Amino acid sequence: MLQVKDISFGYLKNPILQNINFEVNSGEHLSIIGESGSGKSTLLKLLYGEMDLNEGQIFWKDTEILGPKHNLVVGYDFMKYVAQEFDLMPFITVAENIGKHLSNFYPEEKQARIKELLDIVELTEFANIKVKLLSGGQKQRVALARALANEPEILLLDEPFSHIDNFKKQSLRRNLFNYLKDHHITCIVASHDKEDVLPYSDTMIVLDNHKIVANHTPKYLFENPETPLIASFFGEFNMIDDQIIYAHQIQVVEHSKLKATVKKCYFKGPYFLIEANLEGATIFFENKDCIEENKKVSLVIKP
């Protein structure tokens, strides 16, 4: 189990994280979300032991994670961290980068493991290409494979798919998160993308104003978004009578007391997002078809 006990940290005198507490069971996935600058990457670096805490303690099982004041070499064998800036060796091949920390003692096993990892990140055809010739997204996939090579007990991922295009993202997410679950690897992921979180995370924590403001399952927080910050992570929403109402909760009906005037339609693929005026305020709702500008519609709010 990972235990984060009342940790606080600031860069110089600037507080970033205050009194952070949470736990993650072995094999579980936790997501860290929050606005840009809320301290997600800082928290991952502290979990990795890259910086010294101002207060509190972090434990992985019985081992206390300590920073550079206590350790000559940053990091622990049981933990891998894939940062936003992945630090690869540009002049050797993809396969050599992935196998860099694998033992040469059993060359056949090493090659088989590299093949398996290339398959997970869908880079088999690039095995013999030098990393300097790859795109940003391909480099990110090499970094992920390299982090997995020695089967860490815990994997820290900072925006793991930020450089990867939408064609590859879906299958890569499935491959990676399913692999981690199957191999009982604990995963902590900082993300801006609900697609990383909703289907795969057991719990998510929300950082705001230096603190954890929510710690629950993604399903619970999606269904009970207590603050606009949490709702905005999941999608378009409205504040109506001080209540958070997602755009998908508002429906057009034949007659109702709630009357709005349509201002604009946005094509979203399976539906249109409609911008409308409701008693002087702008609201958004979803509809199967576009609705012409200035048309008056009757709306209901679904629970």
Ligand X SMILES: Nc1ncnc2c1ncn2[C@@H]1O[C@H](COP(=O)(O)OP(=O)(O)OP(=O)(O)O)[C@@H](O)[C@H]1O
Note whether 53 binds ligand X by CB under 6 A: no
Q: Which stretch binds ligand X (CB under 6 A): 33-41, 145-153, 241-249, 277-285?
A: 33-41
Q: What are phi and psi of 222, to 5 degrees?
A: -65, -45
40 binds ligand X (CB under 6 A): yes
107/177 Cα distance (integer angstroms) = 27
Which residues ranging from 164 to 193 are in contact with ligand X (CB under 6 A)? 190
Q: How many whole angstroms separate alpha carbon 248 and alpha carbon 123?
A: 38
Rank residues 27 and 67 by Cβ distance to ligand X and give the closer one: 67
Q: Which member of 13, 36, 128, 289 binds ligand X (CB under 6 A)?
A: 36
Min separation Cβ 218 and ligand X, Å: 18
Interface region with ligand X, contact rule CB under 6 A, candidates 40-48, 52-60, 107-115, 121-129: 40-48
When binding is defined by CB under 6 A, the residue of 18, 31, 41, 140 that contacts ligand X is 41
7 binds ligand X per the rule CB under 6 A: no
What 3-state class would DSSP assign to 173?
helix
- Least distance in Å: CB of 129 to ligand X? 29
User: Residue 39 or residue 99: which is nearer to ligand X going by CB?
Assistant: 39
Residues 6 or more apart in contact with residue 250 via CB below 8 angstroms:
238, 283, 284, 285, 286, 299, 300, 301, 302
Nearest distance from C-beta of residue 83 to ligand X, angstroms? 10
DSSP 65: P
Rounded CA-CA distance 197/208 in Å is 18
Contact assessment for residue 174 and residue 159, using Cβ atoms and an 8 Å cutoff? no
- Spatial CA neighbour of 129 closest among 166, 98, 164: 98
Closest to ligand X by CB, 16 vs 299, is 16
Least Å from the CB of residue 186 to ligand X: 20
Distance CA 134, CA 224 (A): 42
**Residue 11, interface with ligand X (CB under 6 A)?**
yes
Q: Which of 18, 31, 38, 138 binds ligand X (CB under 6 A)?
A: 38
Q: Closest Cα partner for 40 from 169, 192, 200?
A: 192
Q: Minimum distance between the CB of residue 45 and ligand X, rounded to whole angstroms? A: 8
Q: Which of 15, 37, 107, 199 binds ligand X (CB under 6 A)?
A: 37
42 binds ligand X (CB under 6 A): yes
Contacts of 57 (CB under 8 A, 6+ apart): 3, 5, 6, 7, 64
Query: Is 68 a binder of ligand X (CB under 6 A)?
Result: no
Q: Which stretches of the chain bind ligand X, using CB under 6 A?
A: 11, 16, 34, 36-42, 190
